Amino acid sequence: MNAAGRHPRHGARIVGLMTGTSADAVDAILVDFRGHGLEARHDVLAYRETALPDALRREVLDLADADQWEPERLLRLDAALAECYADATRALIAAAAVEPSSVDAIGMHGQTIRHLPRSATGSGALTWQAGSAPILAERTGLTVVSDFRRRDAAAGGEGAPLVPIADWWCFRSATEARVLLNLGGMANVTHLPAGAALEDVRAFDTGPGNAVLDALVSAATAGLARHDDGGRMATQGRVHAGLLSQLLADPFFLLPPPRRAGGTSASAMPRACRGSPGTCSSRSRTRSRPPPSSPRLRSRMPSSASCVREAASTPCT
């Protein structure tokens, strides 16, 4: 690995930022890349998770589930998220003990507020991620690259999952076929045939993941917990066969790959479970994974616009 303060020769130093469907935290990673293109090599210099303030998280989830939006709320959310991304970036760079000027760019995914897959539109996928790239660039003084999903949708893709290129880059094998399951807010799978070229990779969403689990935990605990830490709640329950059958009857599971799960955490679970602590008895088991040693890209309630104003003044620490 390069000395922390030294810029990689013939490569780039990049900050990657991601907030998933669960809207629980900003995942930030600092990576040195040596070389260019798909044959580049990398060193991870630092990784950090920064929790979103409660008010900002509530506003994200509220807007993600809303049928209609007030333009002013979207504008405030876009700005507030960018401020959190800037805080996370500065903290990451400080933790890595590198000069900010040594960072070449920030890759910012943003917070998905609405995603309509091709199956829902009858034509191209439509998607929008909040988080102002101009504000992030101004606060950090760094170049910001963003709108990955919309670019993929414009090129005819589903806009997600975006992880397959990183899965192929980090985990491909000349002799062994591999399948990688990403249990994010929405779960997705990548199939890497033995000796696969990038164009041979297949990936698609398998269905709702931790976003639903987090919403159920919040409902069951009246908002006191954000997630099922270590799966302790899930291990005390049992499968509700009737509810499972209801969920698996969703037309999504009949769609052929590639497919993308649209909607949000609340729209993905039965209406009877929404916002009613204790009314939904089915629980699933999940396990959190530690931060990867390679730069894995991870395709993570009533409130008002005042929540965003409150969150914008709350440091993301």
- Is 2 within 8 Å of 8 (Cβ atoms)? yes
Verify that 142 and 172 share a domain, yes or no: no
Question: Is 301 within the bounds of a domain?
Answer: no
Beta-sheet strands, E only, within 84-239? 105-108, 111-116, 126-130, 144-145, 178-183, 186-192, 202-208
Domain contains 289: no
Both 184 and 252 in one domain: the answer is yes
Both 131 and 61 in one domain: the answer is yes
What is the tally of structural domains in the chain? Answer: 2
Look up the pTM and report it.
0.74
Statement to judge: residues 172 and 151 lie in one domain: no
Does 191 reside within a domain?
yes
Let me know if residue 308 belongs to a domain.
no
At residue 9, the pLDDT reads 59
Tell me, yes or no, whether 40 and 129 share the same domain. yes
Same-domain status, 15 and 154? yes
What is the DSSP track for 68-108?
S--HHHHHHHHHHHHHHHHHHHHHHHHHHT--GGG--EEEE
pLDDT given at position 317: 53
Gap between the Cα atoms of 203 and 192, Å rounded: 9
CA 153 to chain centre: 17
- Residue at which a domain ends, from 251, 273, 295: 273
Domain at 196, CATH number? 3.30.420.40
Are the beta carbons of 161 and 299 closer than 8 angstroms?
yes
- 88 shares a domain with 156: yes
Task: Give the residue from 145, 160, 175 where a domain finishes.
Answer: 160
pLDDT given for residue 268 in this prediction:
47
Q: Is residue 86 part of a domain?
A: yes
In this structure, are 218 and 234 located in the same domain? Answer: yes
Which tokens is 30 given? 């600092």
Instruction: Give the per-residue pLDDT at 79.
Output: 97
Residue 80: predicted pLDDT: 97
If asked whether residues 154 and 266 sit together in one domain, one would say: no
Question: Which DSSP string corresponds to 7-28?
Answer: PPTTEEEEEEEE--TT--EEEE
**Pair 24, 132 in one domain:** yes
- Give average pLDDT by consecutive 10-residue segment, the chain, 317 residues: 56 94 90 86 94 92 88 95 97 97 96 86 89 98 95 88 88 96 89 94 88 85 87 90 91 84 49 39 33 32 32 48
Q: How many CB atoms lie within 10 A of CB 252?
A: 21
Residue 283 lies in a domain: no
How far is Cα of residue 277 from the mean position of the Cα atoms in its chain? 26
Q: Looking at the structure, tell me whether residues 76 and 181 fall in a common domain.
A: no
202 and 120 within one domain:
no
In terms of residue numbers, what domain contains 214? 164-273
In a domain, 60, yes or no: yes
Q: Is residue 297 part of a domain?
A: no
Q: Which among 109, 125, 160 is the end of a domain? A: 160
